[in-house]
Structure 1
Amino acid sequence: MQRRGFLASLAATTMAPRLGWADAGSPSYLAAAQTATGTYELHGLTQTGDSIFRLPLPARGHAATAHPSLPHAVAFARRPGTFALVIDCARGLELARLTPPQGRQLNGHGAFSADGSVLYTSEQVAETSEGRIGLWSVPGYRRLGEIPSHGTGPHEIRRLPMSDDLLVANGGIATDPTDRTKLNIDRMRPNLARVTPGGSLVSLAEPPEGMHQNSTRHLALLPDGNAACALQWEGDPAEAPPLLALWSEGALALCEPPLEEAFTMANYAGSIACNHATRQIAITSPKGGAVQVFGMDGVFQATHRRADVCGIAAASGGFVVTDGNGAISRLDADGLHPMKAHSVQWDNHLIALNAV
């Protein structure tokens, strides 16, 4: 009877339909938000800014990552984080709550392997800010181990196309483990590291000479296999250096806007996105209340103003942006066009589920 019961259970499991993102309403984007009552949520959004699901988070979220086939979203706490929540978006269920090992802190971002069997999480050693990448099994979401990020204070990590190698934005900033006080601004060393799944360093790219205080933060993948990086300047605020860099294997090239636009972003790029179809890259600044658009060659095109704008992702004909006042807007060659207003404060990132 036990054997028959086991076989029946196995047959039922194998015959059950495999859920995908269509079962979650086929969202185009994921975004974290704070509600008017002070609670926190993860939203699935359409191309036009409608929320098709909202699921509770235990605390403020930062970014999220989506499984390549299963309707699983991993929502990360704002760094230094103590949780990452794995949510079945089709069923509205919490599948797992990831807690970093003793002495580790989550840094707000993660990525899945190409086959979806491993989740990689951006982490650091709490006492030293030495970078680590946590490895978690899927779908069980059990800790497998960790590998070095080859830098200090890693932030966003992305899996490179047609590869399982990771590109890691090591921001270079060492922070106090409790209050995030920056400890090494005078000697920080940011980089972009290409790392194999086993932890080997393939290549390391640092900002040009004199730009060691330009912290590498967020990443967008380009269609040619290279990447773009959004930066945050930690040096003299009177200098206003470029906040966009283009990465190719082992090298970073800064993209300078016109002098009159240099101070618009208030030395802070909060998010980045690339539209493969329009061949554009955009960076946002909630501090400057602006979006800057560049060609894929790094040539500046335009600045668009929007208060507290930060989340951005590619959309048909341009980009979709979110802001801290609850608006979702479309950005195209004619400028910003508000689409929807929600009674929430959108957090830093808008995560696209499909490349455009």
Structure 2
Amino acid sequence: MGFLRIDPMMVKLIITLLLATFIPAKGGFVDFFQYLTTAAIALLFFMHGAKLSREKIIAGSSHWRLHLWIMTSTFILFPILGLLFVWWHPLNISPDLYTGFIYLCILPGTVQSSIAFTSLAGGNVAAAVCAASASSLLGVFISPMLVNLVMNVHSEMPGNGLEQIGKIMLQLLVPFVIGHISRRWIGAWVEKHRSLIGKTDQASILLVVYSAFSEAVVNGIWHKVGLATFGWILLGCLIILAVALLINIVASRVFGFKRADEIVVLFCGSKKSLANGVPMANILFPASTIGIILLPLMIFHQVQLMVCSYIAGRYKAAGEKQAQKEAAPRVMESQK
């Protein structure tokens, strides 16, 4: 029943939402949590930069057709799906939640879970490392530009798109680059303490979610979102993910990718990053709307983990069955 397993991070998100609902940050604590969140996010991207090995990038970067399709799926296919979804307007939800659906569609893919699912399913791990890392890095530039192009948020907040991209580069890309440059000195320590990156990742997300939802609670988010709305959001996430998975499978077979590469396309081309999306939203959107805009992304995060966990298990079982079939004639031959 791995398909039904709840991600521990989702439990922590729910606890954080409850905490923000009953004990929201107010007054001077708002600024305190803002500074703390910025520091945690900078540390997170510094650690990711230090973790990324140039050897792994080189090893996985040679399959250009594979990476081109994954980038196309992440930054072209998904935004088109988001726009079509809003045009179709199938859900009984507020305009801010539809904005949240478009926002999740323009985000880069995940890094850790994409690689983990690729490994579990028996896919091309080196290519997954390269594709997921490239998606996350390019997303720092592409996602805010798509936000301004598709969502036109620059009319709602001070500054323009270039200023927003500059803020994102300063908070996300600069620490990443410094971390990668520092790898020669701290790389061994980072490899030894990989779990620390996961904890920093989760802590930064939870801090931003708490800050965003504290603001949202003060502005009456729970008067706008009920159980029925959560059900509509869940349905929307399932529709978008199912279409993206189907298109990626079909594209992999049309392009003639091997099974190991098809797995990479499936998991790197159909997932969206909570770790990138939450801090970016904190920069791109007005504080009063961040909480409700992030709801579709948080629900999509859990949906993609559950569905992809099930798919990875199916690929693994199929791969083991195929390996047994191929091994049987050799065993029989050796017994003769």
TM range (shorter): under 0.3
When normalised by structure 2's length, the TM-score is 0.23
The structure whose RCO (Cα within 8 Å, separation 6+) is larger is: 2
Greater strand percent: which structure? 1
More helix by share: 2
